[in-house]
Structure 1
Amino acid sequence: MNILMLTSEFSPAQGGIGTYAREMATAATALGANVTVAAPAYMANAANDDDTLPFPVRRFHGGLHSSRDVPAKIALAREMIRAGKYDIIHSADWPFFIPVALARGLTSARLLMTVHGTEINEVQTPLKRLAIWTSGAFAGRTEIVANSSYTRDLFTRNFPAQSRRTKAVSLGVADFWFRKGRLRAETRRVLGIAEERIIIVSVARITRRKGHHLTLAALNTLPEELRKRITWLVIGPDGEADYVNALRSIVGVTDCDVRLLGALPDEAIRDIYNAADFFCLTAAPDPSGRVEGFGLVYLEAAACGLPCVATEIGGVPDAVIADSSGLLVAPNVIAIAEAITKLAQDTRMREVLAAGATTHARALSWERCAAETYGLPREAVNHRAVRPLDETMKITA
């Protein structure tokens, strides 16, 4: 099987779509497919590590997508589709939906387009819907792959005519996150955190929709004795400047140990996961229409044996199984504070949820995701149900 994947995000840029494109191409190659990836060059040295990948990458001029890039992407899609014999053309994200649709007459290949969540709301303006309708982006033989059941339902509500050709395929987690790095005690020593302290970790861009403000407010409501036993490690680059500045101001006056560590490499994040007690990312409703379509970081933390505190919003319930791999609560301060209190105080609950988190993560490999998406042969995956918490251990919020 020959696959052409076109993506507007890829290494070395960080983000969920870039991870999706790289891991899907790697997994499909491992399953026997011949994959070619078209990805942005970003800067002169962006392709330095491409030789280490098990598939060829063609870098095109550009970085983060802009509407000015559409003509060039249309030309690129036509050129590559015309030049190769592909069984599948895969638009890994929305900037290539229209370019691929306009080139469908050049190929008999299956056309796949992956929707991740936010872009579904963003294309609801009259002009963008007109562009989609005119290009036939979702028409004809186009197949839509959604990254969660939530994203699938959101897409079919907005584009009901395409419901027959739309399926949900949950994302995966790489083997990297199951491997043990530095020992827990060593990482804590490096960070200067005592063994008896409770470490909570969050990994996400510091932006309003990721809900750092909700977690911080919840921590500040905890009883003083518990609050002063907790260290919250916040990993991720800055987002909106006003939001980051406001968050930093509150961190500066809280008596809880909160450390903003910025962006870190995956190896360092894995070490911190292995030294932490649980993961916490409390996504918040965003009036801009941006949504949490799935949440890869929940799975990556789960692969390291961390239970999660998460908000029941968007596609998060596909990544965190309520009362099995984590605690799912409403996106409000009181509910989040209660969940943090439960996990911080109940070692047995953390152990049960950690086991469930690991089981859930193991069921969601990238090879499974690639096999389901592309129709590649693979031994059946045992999607074993994760045992829920006993009734006496469940949280109400």
Structure 2
Amino acid sequence: MRADLPPRRRPIEGAGLNILLLTSEFAPAMGGIGTYAREIAAAASRLGAKVTVVAPDYARPTHDDRSLPFEVVRFRGGLHSMRGLPRKIMLTRRGVRSDRYDVVHAADWPFFIPLALSRWRTPARVLMTVHGTEINETQTPLKRMAIRGAGVFGPRTEVVANSRFTETLFRERFAVDPARISAINLGVSEFWFGAQRKRREIRLAHRLPEDRLVMATVARITRRKGHHLTLAALSQLPDNLRQRITWLVIGPDGEADYVGELRKAASQVACDIRFLGPQTNEAIRDLYAASDFFCLTGLPDTSGRVEGFGLVYLEAGAAGLPSIATDIGGVPDAVLADETGILVPPSVESISQAIAEMAADRGLRAILAAGASAHARALSWERCAATTYGLAYSGKRTSADRSIGITA
């Protein structure tokens, strides 16, 4: 065993494990990291651990914190900027000394340097989670110099990646002992497995006839999410098939010029396309129940942003929807090719063929839907928390009242 590594802990009972989780994104801000921080903290708490989350207050009331199964300590601030780094350094230094923590976990990169500078002040395990895009964003000379100077990924630091893709990307960018890096997929909340309303009722409310094939997309309308690829693929379908499909586009607007172009192009395609905007988790779950399959066709982004995992595919799968997805980033961990969905290259022809295949074959949809539901069921947040922190886990899900879904 390497001298600079903490001993690998056997699974332990959660009672008595004391975890400090540091995050620069948390409710009420919506995003993948905020979802990760909240869900893994809640799951660890359900497994018996004591969890304290340190998060920004966004200059807004945080009364909802009292309903959470863990303690939330708010600091004055918002989404990360480098101006806030000195405050995070002092906050982390005080935090690790305020209690006898067994684990100190930086849920996102803005807390990596603060935690690295404080790790010698605590005997706790030191964890840092990488999500994908930030690995590329930290490759500028100034940021790499800061990372090296602070010894961010030095002794005693364990790195958790959210997918095999993110793990590989991290290894390519940073020379870190592979023994200190592990890929642990995200989880799916129990929330997404339930439906409060019946399919027929939801379809009636949205004026969707029973014979319509409904395809749902949940994502921020931005170029890298590939809505334009899906639209072009629909336009290539035979008229009789395309006119049987309703495409529900759910999510907030991204770049104004891109959204304008997409809406204009959609108005020229002979297909029932509905831009529903951002929706609550409950509304999204209902729309999943009214749909036949899910489709999100992201594409590689020249800016360096990547799809580190693809949690939304699993949420759709939990609701019983198979997926059509493009084979980019960490998506293959979320959508298992020919088991939970159809995985294709990010090309219009491939996507069009996949839509035609999914729409035409009810039996295929049923087989892939069963696989998608089973895959989502296996990837619980309890499993994610247990694997990350070394907690004992029976393999059984526990219920949670709420979940933060993501539409970005």
TM-score (norm 2): 0.92
Residues of 1 paired with 2:294 and 2:136: CA distance? 28
Kept after mapping to 1: 8 A contact 2:127/2:157: yes
Residues 175-233 of structure 1, C-alpha deviations (whole Å, 9 max, x = no match): 00111221111111111111111110011111111111111111111111111111111
Whole-angstrom CA distance in 2 between matches of 1:100 and 1:126: 21
User: 268, 285, 290: which is aligned to 2:300?
Assistant: 285
Separation of aligned partners in 1, 2:56 and 2:210 = 44
SS class of match (2:267): helix
- Distance in 2, Cα, partners of 1:216 & 1:14: 26
What is the aligned partner in structure 1 of residue 60 from structure 2? 44
Contact 2:153 / 2:176 at 8 angstroms: preserved in 1?
A: no
Q: Is the 8 A contact 1:201 1:279 kept in 2?
A: yes
2:347 and 2:79 map into 1 onto residues whose CA distance is: 33
The answer to whether the 8 A contact 1:363-1:381 is kept is no
- How many angstroms does 1:163 deviate by? 2.0
Residue 159 of structure 1 is matched in structure 2 by: 174
- What residue in structure 2 maps to residue 392 of structure 1? none
- Specify the alignment match of 2:147 in structure 1: 132
In structure 2, the gaps of 5 or more residues are: 1-16, 398-408
SS at match of 1:103: helix
The letter for the 2-side match of 1:338 is Q
User: 1:379 offset after TM fit, Å?
Assistant: 2.4
Q: Does 1:375 align with 2:394?
A: no
Amino acid at match of 2:328: I
For 1:385, the equivalent position in structure 2 comes to: none
1-10 vs 156-165, which moves further = 156-165
- What does residue 92 of structure 2 align with? 77
SS at match of 2:177: helix
Q: Which has the higher contact order (CA 8 A, sep 6+)?
A: 2
- Measure, in 2, the Cα distance between the counterparts of 1:120 and 1:182: 41
- CA deviations 1:256-314 (Å, max 9, x no partner) are 11111111110000000011000000011100010000011000000001000000000
State the superposition RMSD in angstroms: 1.2
Identity %, equivalent residues: 62
Q: Quick one: which amino acid aligns to residue 300 of structure 1? A: E
Deviation at 1:253, TM superposition (A): 2.1
Does the aligned pair in 1 maintain the 2:23–2:111 contact within 8 Å? yes
The whole-number CA distance in structure 2 between the counterparts of 1:25 and 1:252 is 44
Structure (1/2) with the larger helix percentage: 1
The aligned residue for residue 27 of structure 2 is: 11
CA contact 2:105–2:128 (8 Å) conserved in 1: yes
Q: Which residue of 1 aligns with 2:44?
A: 28
Of 205-214 and 140-149, deviating more is 205-214
* Partners of 2:119 and 2:382 in 1: CA distance: 27
Q: Which residue in the other structure is 2:77 paired with?
A: 62
- Counterpart of 1:217 in structure 2 is 232
Match of 2:216 in 1: 201
Cα drift, residue 157 of structure 1? 1.1
CA separation in 1, counterparts of 2:238 and 2:354? Answer: 14
Match of 2:263 among 248, 252, 268: 248
Counterpart for residue 337 of structure 1: 352
Distance 2:270 2:324 in 1: 21
Amino acid at match of 2:226: G
Secondary structure class of the residue paired with 1:90: strand
Gapped regions of structure 1 (runs ≥ 5) = 383-397
Partner residue in 2 for 1:393: none
Q: Which of the residues 84, 101, 120 maps onto 2:135?
A: 120
Q: Output aligned runs, 1:310-329, within 5 Å.
A: 310-329=325-344
Deviation string, structure 1 residues 74-103 (Cα, Å, up to 9, x no partner): 111111112121110000011111111111
Is the partner of 1:151 in helix, strand or coil?
helix
Which residue does 2:117 correspond to in 1? 102
Secondary structure of the residue aligned to 2:304 is: coil
| Count of matched residue positions in the alignment of Structure 1 and Structure 2 | 381
